[in-house]
Amino acid sequence: MRVLICAGRFYGDGNTVTRILDLYHQSHPMTVIIHGGHQSLGGIIEGWARDANIHVVRYPANWSMHGKFAEMRRNQFMLEDSHPDALLAFPGGEDTAECIKMAKRAGVNVIDVDR
């Protein structure tokens, strides 16, 4: 299973993220974790994936090219390019909400965490 993780740029609850990844992986074995290079959680997500022997695909936003639209464009590309089976959505702002909407429109199963 290919799982995309999204969260607001200021969300930093690594304990909750690892707990949810553990629980979700038990019921839905993951083969690939996809994320946007989150400043606080990226390392935690990738460390968890390495320990679980799961591939990681990272899509950092290109701020210099897209400016204030970098996250929105990255999220759209990430969804189209990575073909996730599910989206684990942690708390966030407008860009996280938009990523959730895009995923739902694309038919991706969305799991809202801590909402």
Residues 101, 6: Cα–Cα separation, whole Å = 12
Q: What structural domains and CATH numbers belong to the chain?
A: 2-112 (3.40.50.620)
Tokens 């390019």, residue located? 81
Residues 115, 107: Cα–Cα separation, whole Å = 20
How do the pLDDT tens digits run along the chain, 115 residues long? Answer: 999 999 998 999 999 999 999 999 999 999 999 999 988 899 999 999 999 999 999 999 999 999 999 999 999 999 999 999 999 999 999 999 999 999 999 999 999 997 5
Residues 14, 43: Cα–Cα separation, whole Å = 10
Q: Is-contact 92 11, C-beta < 8 A?
A: yes
What's this model's pTM, rounded to 2 decimal places?
0.93
